Structure 1
Amino acid sequence: MTYSISAWGIVVESLFITDIIFSFRTAFIDKSGQVIADGRQICICYLKTWFTVDLITSLPFDLLTFTLDVKLVQMIKAVRLLRLLKLGQKMDRYTQYTSGVLILLMSVFLVVAHWMSCIWYVIGQMEMNWDVGWLRRLGNDINMPYHAVGAVNAPSGGPPIHSVYITSLYFTLTSLTRVGFGNVSPNTDAEKIFCICIMVLGALMYAVVFGSVTTILQGMYSHLSPRRTRTDDLPASLRQKLLEHIQITINNCLDIIEDQKKD
């Protein structure tokens, strides 16, 4: 059997390698809060911290398909999840911006949906011996049924992989968002158990992610609220004088408190 390197794999590996190159030329902030732009210090710091992780995750795993089983290579690719540790360390940079938090929350939601859809596909393959499994039902519904071939009745045929993934992602998203149209449904025990887990996870994510999005959007558009403070109705010059008077009063009060403490 021959294997080909996917274009998507080439793009991902190219981006990872490019990231390594840029990391050798990217300034960093040391423990004292100073920005270090010296090339030698940048290289030393990067080699001591994230270089090993970045190098491992940038290896061309698709080339291993010529010598190893494809499923085994897909499991080895999971090592790329180590890059999430690097993202988590830099998370505080993006949480200061509202747009960054929104993008981050939606990205987390989509990544979890992708992972769940992959698990749903694996369960469908495991339940292939059952005629009521979701993969077989999908093949029958679109007139692309699976056929058993060989002595071990290995399945062949069926829908193309992109159609299977789209259906799996569609089912996962409808389950996580608690919509559930029912046109893709669990039938075997394993599929039902997974569905229970994904609905519990969906309820939690729906409350956290979309609740946070609602709070952020309310903060973004709070200035458009018809309710305004009284100071907003004052002229700019008068409002500035009022703020200065308040600041002077606060400073005087603090001075009085300090004098009383000394006495």
Structure 2
Amino acid sequence: SLASLSYLDLNLHRLQALSLHADVLPQYKQEAPKTPPHIILHYSAFKTIWDWIILILTGYTAVMVPFNVAFKFKTMDDVSFIVTDSIVDVIFFIDIVLNFHTTFVGPNGEVISDPSIIRVNYLKGWFVIDLLSCLPYDVFNAFQPESTDGGISSLFSALKVVRLLRIGRVARKVDQYLEYGAALLILMIFGFVLLAHWMACVWYTIGLRDLDLEIWYGWIPRLANDSLEPKNWTKNTYQSLLPDKSMAYLTSLYFTLSLLTSVGFGNIAPYTEGEKAVVVVFMLL
């Protein structure tokens, strides 16, 4: 009937608006093509909801991976972070499996539902990046014995940054929303805050590096002097004298936001050569 056709049309438009795929349906064919039972249509309601879940988890990854690497959450005392990241890794692995069974739009605008073509297309495309981004680096790092070489531990911490490749998923799916002013504003705000967060993690990492080099006049010792009043800074005792991680992160974020929005207020400033070099890069950005 006419009413049922209008209802289906309305649902189709809603689905197209929510979908994270630029090419939702072929222009010349609105009815669903016949597909094998194990193949998922890329514009179906299930795939649309799943893509939004992946998008949210990608945002979580973009925030938490640099934070965990910079602040070195890698021991069993930080089990909540490890469990959460492991769950996220499992979901991203399931997404890889689903991508092997999801249709895509071909070069001529047709919906490709042949399983062999879908597999080849995904293997030639984003499969390697998606696989590298969901490996359980936290689990590898957490279960290392205490006698393990520190270089291996540092390697696993650095490899966790590979997870940021998941941001490529966002870049290839949200570009269709850039034509809407409100969506563009939200994306710009999120991008600005994310940049400040990444810079804060780098700022803290540089401060720790200077301490490892026994440079005791950087921004972290000065922060500790203001809050904890340590007496003897040495290579063996500075770990116990460091400000707690929440205080260090808030101070780092405060500094990078003040640097991005103005020229800084001077209460947190670069002192060592490494800190000044990083701030020069930040200011150029």
Q: Give identity over the alignment, percent.
A: 39
Name the aligned partner's letter for residue 284 of structure 2: V
Structure-1 separation of matches of 2:100 and 2:231: 50
Does structure 2 conserve the Cα–Cα contact (< 8 Å) formed by 1:20 and 1:51? yes
Does structure 2 conserve the Cα–Cα contact (< 8 Å) formed by 1:117 and 1:168? yes
The yes-or-no answer on 1:199 pairing with 2:271 is: no
State the SS of the aligned residue for 2:179: coil
Name the aligned partner's letter for residue 189 of structure 1: E
The yes-or-no answer on 1:187 pairing with 2:263 is: no
State the SS of the aligned residue for 2:75: coil
2:139 is aligned to 63
Structure-2 separation of matches of 1:39 and 1:146: 67
The yes-or-no answer on 1:80 pairing with 2:174 is: no
Name the aligned partner's letter for residue 275 of structure 2: E
State the SS of the aligned residue for 1:59: coil
1:34 is aligned to 110
Name the aligned partner's letter for residue 109 of structure 2: G
Instruction: Give the deviation of 1:171 after TM superposition.
Output: 0.9
Structure-2 separation of matches of 1:11 and 1:176: 34
Name the aligned partner's letter for residue 143 of structure 1: L
What value does the CA root-mean-square deviation take over the aligned residues? Answer: 2.8
2:218 is aligned to 133
Does structure 1 conserve the Cα–Cα contact (< 8 Å) formed by 2:216 and 2:233? no
Question: How many matched pairs?
Answer: 198
The yes-or-no answer on 1:3 pairing with 2:88 is: no
Q: 2:173 aligns with which of 87, 90, 102?
A: 90
Deviations 1:169-200 (A, max 9, x none): 22111101115233222222322232222122
Name the aligned partner's letter for residue 97 of structure 1: Y
1:257 is aligned to none
The yes-or-no answer on 1:172 pairing with 2:244 is: no
Structure 2: gaps of 5 or more residues: 1-73
State the SS of the aligned residue for 2:216: coil
Structure-2 separation of matches of 1:118 and 1:146: 27
Q: Cα gap change, 1:31/1:144 in structure 2, threshold over 3 Å: closer, same or farther?
A: farther
Name the aligned partner's letter for residue 215 of structure 2: W
Q: 1:143 aligns with which of 212, 228, 234?
A: 228
- TM normalised by structure 1 equals 0.64
Name the aligned partner's letter for residue 258 of structure 2: T
Deviations 1:130-163 (A, max 9, x none): 33211111112222648656xx536212222232
Does structure 2 conserve the Cα–Cα contact (< 8 Å) formed by 1:136 and 1:146? no
Q: Cα gap change, 1:99/1:19 in structure 2, threshold over 3 Å: closer, same or farther?
A: farther
Q: 2:196 aligns with which of 113, 137, 140?
A: 113
Does structure 2 conserve the Cα–Cα contact (< 8 Å) formed by 1:113 and 1:173? yes
- TM normalised by structure 2 equals 0.59
Q: Which has the higher contact order (CA 8 A, sep 6+)?
A: 2
Instruction: Give the deviation of 1:119 after TM superposition.
Output: 1.6
State the SS of the aligned residue for 1:191: helix
Structure-1 separation of matches of 2:115 and 2:179: 28
1:102 is aligned to 185
Larger-Rg structure: 1
Instruction: Give the deviation of 1:116 after TM superposition.
Output: 1.4
Q: Cα gap change, 1:79/1:147 in structure 2, threshold over 3 Å: closer, same or farther?
A: farther
Q: Cα gap change, 1:10/1:179 in structure 2, threshold over 3 Å: closer, same or farther?
A: farther
1:251 is aligned to none
Does structure 1 conserve the Cα–Cα contact (< 8 Å) formed by 2:270 and 2:279? yes
Q: Cα gap change, 1:162/1:36 in structure 2, threshold over 3 Å: closer, same or farther?
A: farther
1:241 is aligned to none
